[in-house]
Structure 1
Amino acid sequence: MHQLFKLSFIASVLLVSTAPCLFAQEEEDDEESKKVVPIDKKYETEVSTLAKRPAVQSAFKIFTELEPQTKQDLITLTEIPSPPFKEAERSKKYAAMMKEAGADSVWIDEVNNVIAKRKGKSGKKTVVVEAHLDTVFPAGTDVKIKAKGDTLYAPGVGDDTRGLAAVLAVLKGMEKAKIETDADVLFVGAVGEEGLGDLRGVKHLLRQGGPKVDSYIAVDGHGIESITHRGLGSHRYRITYKGPGGHSYGAFGIVNPHGALGKAVYYFTTDADKFTREGVKTTYSVSVIGGGTSVNAIPYESWMEVDMRSESKEKLAGVDKLLQAAVQRALKEENAMKRSGPDLTVEVKLVGDRPSGRIEPTIPLVQRAMAASKYFQAEPKLRVGSTNANTPIAKGIPAVTIGSGGTGGGAHSLKEWWLNDKGVLGMQRILLVLLAEAGMAN
């Protein structure tokens, strides 16, 4: 990894230490999120009826009894480093935990996703309950849990290791309460949710030829209010201008990659500013730049990493088009300025492509998630965010992302924390949403 990029990453981790939510501000309360969406009474009745069933009440009690073990599971998993693209060790441990919990079959797929299948009575449908295995932290980060009173501190303890522990606890509770579903259920620990992981775990899970999935419940974040049903898509690029490089005096007149990069940034941000002032919220950021070797040397390369986001496919494509035009315009102009030597070249590499989309709040899965929140006297909050639910949403599969209970903060920072403030409600809510989707067979 380029040294400047590594330093920039570490700086960015430290700067977000006060992030207020476990989506590290990817989750958004926009104008649409503030609209009041009614819950159909039939879903409130459905969820309430499920919650009163003896087996479900038994599972609720079991979740409480399991709290000490769930805490230990969280500590164990947190202290297994799971850097981007290096989730294998945590995958192995999580698979072993799923097997011990009683899943019918457990396997690790080609990209290190952990998949635990619990067979349903009919198996006509398949419902996924998933949390992600990866964290944002590079290899070598101290992930040892530090407890201060009832609060646990460690990088990754909340995002999304708490989600993994909650999904595991739901499986344990269903097994111990002998709850059977009509649909097959896949309990999944997915790789590659964060950053340049680019949702690769879920993209692989939902690949053509993979298991047919009818409904998708991602568990990420804390609390029991949030319901992400709109996928915030993103395009991410690494753009590199390259030239011969040379002495700042002796080689003067050759192309300068920094000159082209500066022009590209100016043209892009000027046009993108105008483009994004109307319509669906669309964002852009020139986030990281680098290149050059010395103050008395014309650089041989200059690079930047650019992030663009929107829940609208059309707006995302539009701002992307502006970036491509700016890059080529800057290349042409810098080459026109040269006095000697070869032309400048540019490499445009797509390093992140998260699909966008939405499911309406009136569909059963969203309604059931809202009804489950309300059942526990929590006010449901519908949101847009960049989570593992993006991929199924883009494929037309009903999907939501919901929290794992408790409270926390400092996501993506070295001071991340999680507190078990009525955390058991997280598992209870997940179970109700899952059973409403999968159907109870007993």
Structure 2
Amino acid sequence: MTQNIPPLSEEVFAQVKKLAAMPAVKAAMEQAAREVDRAMEEQIELCEIEAPTFHEETRAKRVAELMRAYDLTDVVTDPIGNVVGRRPGKGNGPVLALGAHMDTVFPAGTDVKVRREGNIYRAPGIGDNCSGLRALLQILRMFNDQKIETEGDILFVGTVGEEGNGDIRGSKALFDGTRHIDGFVAIDSTDVGRILHGATGSHRWRLSVDGKGGHSYAEFGRCPSAIHAICRAGAKVGCFRVPADPKTTYTIGTIKGGTTVNTIAAHCEVEVDMRSVSNEELLKLEERVLKAFEEAVQEENDFWGITDESLKLKLTKTQIGNRPAGMRPDDCPVLQTARSAQKVLGIELTKYMCASTDANAPMSLGIPATCLCSGGRGMNAHSVTEYFEMVDTQLGPQLVFLTAAALVGACGEKPVLPVRK
């Protein structure tokens, strides 16, 4: 994952290194190390507030309260539910957004009480993404407590709907054109050695087949089966060859339908997931998959010679996910600055890769963006056995803080991040 990475810009690295040596920045770094216990308490507190996708309101309210407590005066909850706090700069620099998603994959009623075992904390959502929220709030305290002036503005954002069928709706809304944002850093996952240089896009569809249905013996040959049509489609899709580079994938993830073993199914539906780091390949695959289902329904009708429209199977296509793909060039200022900050902090770049995060939306628009991690060690994400190990948790806030400070320009240094036209 780290092969063939172009060298760092000497100019960017020198600027980040110079910034890291400044007294206020060094004090901020020391603060992050000093406050690991305090930050962990916030991570626990937020984890114990339920926040299923589409129902993040209670956790969002607490995130907004904490932002205001840490001296952000301009904090709003936007129409979709994102909590957005602006820390103004001097007004002559870029606008950088730092975002951590507030939602979890777990439904309401899940036991989210945190159990501690030494330096291990167990609870659904404790790492993904309460660790990211912990880092976001710590970074805000670092800037404000050390009174660090920046040239550009920084938006501190708790986003909604990053997980599953939330379809990164919070991030999409953030970049819908109503705000001017020059760059973005998502804070998600925990491995500080990872930097994302691309966004894995995903298109998801629910494909439903419906007909009259009937008795398995009495209506045999006169009534097409919704399940058989879906099986025909699955056989087609299962034989698709897709590119290994750019990596492109597909799966029929769920299937349900039918009534009893002795019934010709009147309904069957599947949910299909398609992914690629290339929007072009993703769209090509999507077209092939949808065509396969259309053909399969027609074939099932034709096989039984069904000409009566009232007896024919019908296909309903419903898109349930649309995460755009995007790649950033290796000289992207956000990537160069993040890698420089890693090097200054002695963090080895171990994963230079693509994934699906809140960074998808800006990357797909060509906006400088990446996803950095929160520190610590998160395990078993998206599982009720999830746990978080409190080890080197200060590294995440330190990495994102130093990256952000260099991008917007701090302590009199010019911004690395350009203002978009």
Shared fold, TM over 0.5: yes
1:369 corresponds, among 338, 348, 359, to: 338
1:426 counterpart = 2:396: yes
Partners of 1:300 and 1:141 lie apart in 2 by: 34
Q: What's the offset of the Cα at 1:167?
A: 0.4
Match of 1:171, as an amino acid?
L
Whole-angstrom CA distance in 1 between matches of 2:209 and 2:191: 45
TM-score (norm 1): 0.90
Could you say if the C-alpha distance between residues 123 and 416 of structure 1 is closer, same or farther in structure 2, counting changes exceeding 3 Å?
farther
1:282 to 2:251 alignment = no
Decide whether the 8 Å contact of 2:93 with 2:408 is kept in 1.
no
Q: What's the counterpart of residue 139 of structure 2?
A: 170
1:246 aligns with 2:176: no
Which of the pair is proportionally richer in helix? 1
1:158 to 2:127 alignment:
yes
Structure 2 counterpart of 1:323: 289
The alignment status of 1:269 with 2:235, answered yes or no, reads no
Q: Following superposition of structure 1 onto structure 2, how do residues 81-100 of structure 1 map, counting pairs within 5 Å? A: 81-100=50-69
Task: Output the amino acid matched with 2:296.
Answer: A
| Superposed displacement of residue 247, structure 1 | 2.0
Task: State the partner residue of 2:70.
Answer: 101
**Structure 1 position 389, deviation (Å):** 0.5
C-alpha displacement at 1:441, in angstroms?
A: 4.6
**Aligned mates of 1:353, 1:277 — CA distance in 2:** 20
1:131 matches 2:100: yes
Select which of 237, 246, 257 maps to 2:205. 237
In 2, Cα distance between equivalents of 1:405 and 1:378: 11
Where do residues 289-304 of structure 1 align in structure 2 (5 Å cutoff)?
A: 289-304=255-270
- Any idea what SS the aligned residue of 1:388 has? coil
Consecutive unaligned residues of structure 1, counting only runs of 5 or more, are: 1-28
Counterpart of 1:325 in 2: which secondary structure?
helix
| Aligned residue type for 2:402 | L
In 1, the alpha carbon distance for the partners of 2:86 and 2:265 equals 54
- Once the two structures are superposed, the pairs formed by residues 218-233 of structure 1 within 5 Å of their partners are 218-233=186-201
User: What's the CA shift for 1:124?
Assistant: 4.0
Between the aligned partners of 1:202 and 1:391, the Cα distance in structure 2 is 6
One-letter amino acid of the structure 2 residue matched with residue 428 of structure 1: Q
CA contact (8 A) 2:200 2:275 kept: yes
How far the C-alpha of 1:318 sits from its partner, in A, is 1.3
Residue 189 of structure 1: how far off its partner (Å): 0.3
User: Equivalent residue for 1:187?
Assistant: 156
Q: Secondary structure at the match of 1:217?
A: strand
- Shift in Å, 1:409: 1.1
- Offset at residue 250 of structure 1 (A): 2.7
- Structure 2: runs of 5+ lacking an equivalent: 413-421
Indicate which of 122, 129, 132 corresponds to 2:91: 122
Distance 1:223 1:262 in 2: 41
- Matched with 1:61 is 30
| 2:169 corresponding residue in structure 1 | 200
Matched, 1:149 2:118: yes
1:312 matched residue in structure 2 = 278
- Kindly provide the amino acid, as one letter, of the partner of residue 321 in structure 1: E
Task: Verify: 1:217 aligned to 2:185, yes or no.
Answer: yes
Post-superposition Cα deviations, 1:347-380, rounded to whole Å, max 9, x if no partner, equal: 0111101111111111221011111111122222
Q: Is the Cα contact below 8 Å between 1:78 and 1:145 reproduced in 2?
A: yes
Q: Which residue is 2:43 aligned to?
A: 74
Q: Is the 8 A contact 2:334 2:370 kept in 1?
A: yes
The question of whether the paired residues in 1 share the 8 Å contact of 2:122 and 2:387 is answered with yes
Written as runs of structure 1 = structure 2, the 5 A alignment for 1:334-345 is 334-338=300-304, 342-345=311-314
1:385 aligns with 2:355: yes
Residue type of the partner of 1:403?
C
Rounded Cα–Cα distance in structure 1 between residues aligned with 2:38 and 2:153: 26
Q: Could you report, residue by residue, the CA deviation over 1:239-268 in whole angstroms, capped at 9, with x for unpaired residues?
A: 000011222223322111001000011112
Instruction: List per-residue Cα deviations over 1:16-38 (Å, max 9, x = no partner).
Output: xxxxxxxxxxxxx4xxx432331
The C-alpha deviation readout for 1:32-88, integer Å capped at 9, x for no partner, is: x43233112222211111111111111112222322221110001001111111111
- Match of 1:34, SS state, is coil
In 2, Cα distance between the equivalents of 1:268 and 1:200? 29
Aligned to 1:26: none
Match of 1:34 in 2: 3
Q: CA deviation at 1:123?
A: 4.9
Bigger mean CA deviation after superposition, 237-246 or 56-65:
56-65
Distance 1:278 1:52 in 2: 44
Q: How many angstroms apart in 1 are the aligned matches of 2:248 and 2:329?
A: 20
- Per the TM alignment, residue 438 of structure 1 is displaced from its structure 2 partner at its CA by 0.7
- Which of the residues 391, 413, 417 maps onto 2:387? 417
Q: Which amino acid aligns with 1:385?
A: A
Count of residues paired in the alignment: 407
SS at match of 2:395: helix
**SS state of the match for residue 383, structure 1?**
strand
Query: Are the equivalent residues in 2 in contact too, given 1:104–1:119 (CA < 8 A)?
Result: no
Equivalent residue of 1:172, what SS?
helix
